[in-house]
Amino acid sequence: MTKQIKVGDVKIGGGAPISIQSMTKTDTRDISSTIRQIKELERSGCEIIRVAVKDFEAAKAIKAIKRKINLPLVADIHFDYTLALCAIENGADKIRLNPGNIYKEDEIKEVVRLIKKRKIPIRVGANSGSIRNRVKSREQRAEGTEQRAKALVESVLNYIKILERMDFYDIIVSLKASSVLSTIEAYKLFSKKSKYPLHLGVTAAGPASTGIVKSSIGIGALLLDGIGDTVRVSLTGDPVEEVITAKNILQALELRSFGPEIISCPTCGRCQVDLQKIAEEFEKCYTLYANRYTLKRFPKIAIMGCEVNGPGEAKEADIGIACGKGIGVIFKKGELIKRVKEKEIVKELLREL
C-alpha cells in the first residue's frame, strides 16, 4: 500500500482507483489549442493532464488554461527551476521535476519552499534518456537492463532524500525507460524500497502499433504485481489514443470498468453468419445504450461464430449468442433462452440487455 497524494481532486495511491493521465501535444503558449485538446482528452476519460512548460510564456499560460478546464493540471519542467516557480504561481496542481536536469540543492529548495505554501505535490520523474552522467558512470553507463533500472532507482532515491531533508513528502515517482524490461525492473526495485505512489509508463514507446504493445506489457505486468497508482501511456500520435489504451489496460486487468465489454471470436471457416457485421452493429448500438444509462457495471456480451467455443463463452457472459447456419442461440445468465434468425440477432441481444 502506497502513501496517498492528492492532485487537485484526484487521489493517487493508498488504494485509490488507478487514475489515467495524458499530456498535451500542443504548444502550451497556444492557449486555445491547448484548452481544446484538454477538453477532448477529458471527454475521452483522461483524469489528470500535463502540459510542457518550456518558457515563461508557457508557465504563465497555465492560469488562463486552468480557468477553462476541469482536470488537475501538471506542469512539466526541465532544466530551469524558475519555470517551476512561475508555473506554481500560475496555479499548477502538481509539478514534474526531472532529477536528470534540475538537481542543484539550492534550486530544489526554492521550488519546495513555494510548493509547500501551495500544498501541491511534486512528481520526481526520472527518464532513462536523461539520467545524470554522475549516476550513469557509477553504473558503468547503465548498459544492461538491470543496470539501467538501478541507475533510474538511484537517481530517484537521491532526489527523494533531498526533498525529505526539506521536510517535503508529497511525492509521486516515475522511473520510465524506453525499454519495457528496464521499466518493469526499475519500478519493481523501487517499490521494494519506498511507499511513495507510482506513476507508471514506458517512455518513448513509439507510434501506436508498437507503443500500445510496449505500454500494455510494461504497465500491465506491473499492475498485475500490484505495483502502480496512476498510468500514462506515451504514444507518438493522438493523445486520445493514449487515454483509450490506458482505459483498455485497466479494463482488461479488471481494475476499472469504463464501458461495454464485447467478447467476439475472430471467425474462421466454420462460421456461417456475417459475424463481423453483427459484432460491429451491436457494438455501435451497445455503446449508445451504455452512454445513455449510467451503468455501475457493464454487462459482458459474447458474440460467437459457431458451436465450437460459442455456447461456452455465451454461457459465461451475462448475455451471449452462439451462431449456426443463419441463426443464433441466445444465452442469458448461462441459460439458453431463445433461437433467432441472423438478421434479428442484434435487435434481440439489445432487447435482452
**Footprint on this chain of ligand SF4 (rule: CB under 6 A):** 265-268, 270-271, 304-306, 308-310
Least distance CB 335 / ligand SF4 (angstroms): 20
162, 161, 160, 140: which is closest to 151 by C-alpha?
Answer: 140
Cell numbers given for 339: 433461437
CA distance 172 to 73: 15
Least distance CB 278 / ligand SF4 (angstroms): 12
Question: Closer to ligand SF4 at the Cβ: 245 or 264?
Answer: 264
Least distance CB 332 / ligand SF4 (angstroms): 19
Taking a C-beta distance cutoff of 8 angstroms, is the pair 34, 244 a contact? no
Q: What is the DSSP letter of 175?
A: E
Question: Closer to ligand SF4 at the Cβ: 261 or 274?
Answer: 274
Question: Closer to ligand SF4 at the Cβ: 196 or 282?
Answer: 282
Q: Is 122 helix (H, G, I), strand (E, B) or coil?
A: strand
Question: Closer to ligand SF4 at the Cβ: 99 or 310?
Answer: 310
Helix (H) or strand (E) holding 172: strand 171-176
Residue nearest to ligand SF4 (CB): 305
Least distance CB 305 / ligand SF4 (angstroms): 3
Question: Closer to ligand SF4 at the Cβ: 85 or 303?
Answer: 303
CA distance 33 to 175: 30
DSSP alpha helix (H) spans, the chain: 31-44, 56-68, 81-89, 105-118, 133-138, 145-165, 180-193, 208-224, 239-252, 275-292, 310-316, 345-352
Least distance CB 274 / ligand SF4 (angstroms): 12
